[in-house]
Amino acid sequence: MRRSLLFLTTGLLVVGLFFTGASAEQPNFPKAKEYRIERSVPPEAQACIECHRATTPGVFADWAKSRHANANITCLDCHLVQPGDRDIAQDHEKYYGRSDMPWGEAKYKMPVAAIVTPKDCSRCHPDEALQYSKSKHANTIEIMWKIDPWLNKGMNSDNERKTGCYNCHGTVVTIDDAGKIDPATWPNVGVGRINPDGSKGSCTSCHTRHRFSVGEARMPEACDQCHLGPDHPQIEIYEESKHGTIYHAYKDEYNFDAAGGTWTPGLDYRAPTCAACHMSGSGKEPTSHDVTQRLSWETQAPLTVRPQDFAAFPSGTDWQAERQKMKNICSACHGESWIEDFYNGFDKAVEEYNEVYYKPAKQKFDELNEKGLLDATRFFDERLEVEFYELWHHEGRRARMGTMMMAPDYAWWHGFYEVKLRYNIFMEEANHLIETGQKAHVAKDFPNAVGDTQKPPAVFGKP
């Protein structure tokens, strides 16, 4: 018995020395995760819980049903001020020292941050935060400013942007001279939000407060707040596809609450959701919070390009490797010929959009500007500018995305059919102006075109 114990102890010591040496010599050696269960919470955290149970019962109820609560993760674990935090909730401190609040005694006073950022979440979820920071989601403010004339030409108001564009793309959250969050930039949970601590994004865009459910983020409804409408109707496209049809027929059988990294096609779900294809693991493909992965075309761009060639946000990936990753996801349910034939059709649709529609229209648009028949001072105040914009930003995206996600009505009737109509209208009027030398009519009274045209310094640096 003693000899066995000696061998076991010696073996563990050798293993420990091996891992210690490997970690020291290889900085990228996977670090061991450390789990510690505490059976109690500090009195300051208990004060948070009891106070919010009374004052914001909805917040408390969500937290109480969360995995965080099961793991003894309290308000303080996420909201406690960290070094460098500037968004200290100053109004929160007035609740301490009130005689009418049993848990508001000064001894429980703790500085808390109003905004919980990916940097805060990374203390427990480092891999997810790092992956997310590299994604199009986290960098969508930069992408938006680089390709959107609404912002660059100031053609909408700042409040129209706040209530519309920035709800999905995110704001640059700023702190005013009084130390409070600027209401022009808050509240906001946009996927590309720039936080006061410099981190990008908001985990609660997909894992909403305060339950932070992994199951919720796996459902297509988690994506439909932003991915809908005339310019990128992915949720409508998904609803029409066979994937969406099967999801709605069988979603009651789906196990959305499987542990992270274990959600398995055929076992936990029958047909994929948005997360299943773009983020979740399957087979030998690991889970990733970088939605830029697995993409082989950039279908939001005016001219369809490979993700690494997308000037607004080069992916830094190899499209062929990323396509293979997506094929690996598809292969859990589809045979090789089905997958290859799908991609052949998708590639052909991209080629036809680029060569038959977009490039000739762009060439004609450039000719109009070169000949001074369009006024380049502003955008959208001339009808041909709107026609060209909607050709790629609306109908062109729907055609490509409908094809990509196998929704025939969006590929054709909402897509290429309307691309044809838009193209013909645009080219007819453009050729008329060129033939006659007549300048396009300018809408002098274009409404509410008062938006700030300065690119955010937090994203692009000082001008």
**pLDDT value, residue 33:** 59
**pLDDT value, residue 99:** 78
Q: Where are the domains of the chain?
A: 36-114, 116-212, 338-436
Q: How many residues comprise the chain?
A: 463
Place of tokens 């030409």: 153
155 close to 133: Cβ distance less than 8 angstroms: no
Q: Burial of 321 by CB count in 10 Å (0-12 exposed, 13-18 middle, 19+ buried)?
A: exposed
Query: pLDDT tens digits for 270-310?
Result: 999 999 999 999 999 999 999 999 999 999 999 999 999 99
Q: Which token pair is 376? A: 């380049």
**pLDDT value, residue 189:** 96
CA distances from 198 to 21, 171, 220, 368 (A): 34, 12, 29, 42
Q: How many angstroms separate the CA atoms of 150 and 366, rounded?
A: 19
Query: pLDDT tens digits for 32-43?
Result: 556 666 668 899
Q: How many angstroms separate the CA atoms of 80 and 66, rounded?
A: 19
Q: Burial of 341 by CB count in 10 Å (0-12 exposed, 13-18 middle, 19+ buried)?
A: exposed
273 close to 220: Cβ distance less than 8 angstroms: yes
440 close to 374: Cβ distance less than 8 angstroms: yes
Q: Name residues whose C-beta falls within 8 Å of residue 22's C-beta, 6 or more positions apart in sequence.
A: 29
**pLDDT value, residue 35:** 61
What string of H, E and C letters represents the secondary structure of the chain? CHHHHHHHHHHHHHHHHHHHHHHHHCCCCCCCCCCCCCCCCCHHHHHHHHHHHHHCHHHHHHHHCCHHHHCCCCHHHHHECCCCCCCECHHHHHHCCCCCCCCCCHHHCCCEECCCCHHHHCCCCHHHHHHHHCCCCCCHHHHHHHHCHHHHCCCCCHHHHHHHHHHHHCCECCECCCCCECHHHCCCCCCCCECCCCCECCHHHCCCCCCCCHHHHHCHHHCCCCCCCCCCCHHHHHHHCHHHHHHHHHHHHCCCCCCCCCCCECCCECCCCHHHHHCCCECCECCCCCCCCCCCCECCCCCCECHHHCCCCCCCCCHHHHHHHHHHHHCCCCCHHHHHHHHHHHHHHHHHHHHHHHHHHHHHHHHHHHCCCCCCCCCCCCHHHHHHHHHHHHHHHHHHHHHHCCCHHHHHHHHHHHHHHHHHHHHHHHHHHHHHCCCCCCCCCCCCCCCCCCCCHHHHCCC
**pLDDT value, residue 26:** 44
Nearest 10 degrees: Cα torsion 75, 76, 79, 83 = -170
pTM for this prediction: 0.88
**pLDDT value, residue 140:** 97
End-to-end CA distance of the chain: 74
Cα–Cα–Cα angle for 229, 234, 237, rounded to 5 degrees:
100
Q: Is the dihedral of CA 34, 37, 43, 47 positive or negative?
A: positive
116 close to 87: Cβ distance less than 8 angstroms: no
Q: Which amino acid is at 376?
A: A
Q: Which of 129, 144, 120 is nearest to 290 (CA)?
A: 129
Q: How many angstroms separate the CA atoms of 155 and 453, rounded?
A: 9
240 close to 297: Cβ distance less than 8 angstroms: no
Q: Which token pair is 328? A: 């690996």
Q: In the chain, which residues have pLDDT < 50? A: 1-27
Q: Which of 197, 177, 178, 196 is nearest to 186 (CA)?
A: 196
Neighbours of 462 (CB within 10 A): 6
Q: Which of 106, 120, 127, 130 is nearest to 76 (CA)?
A: 120
Q: How many angstroms separate the CA atoms of 12 and 20, rounded?
A: 12
Region of residue 452 (left: phi > 0; alpha: psi -120 to 50; beta: else): beta
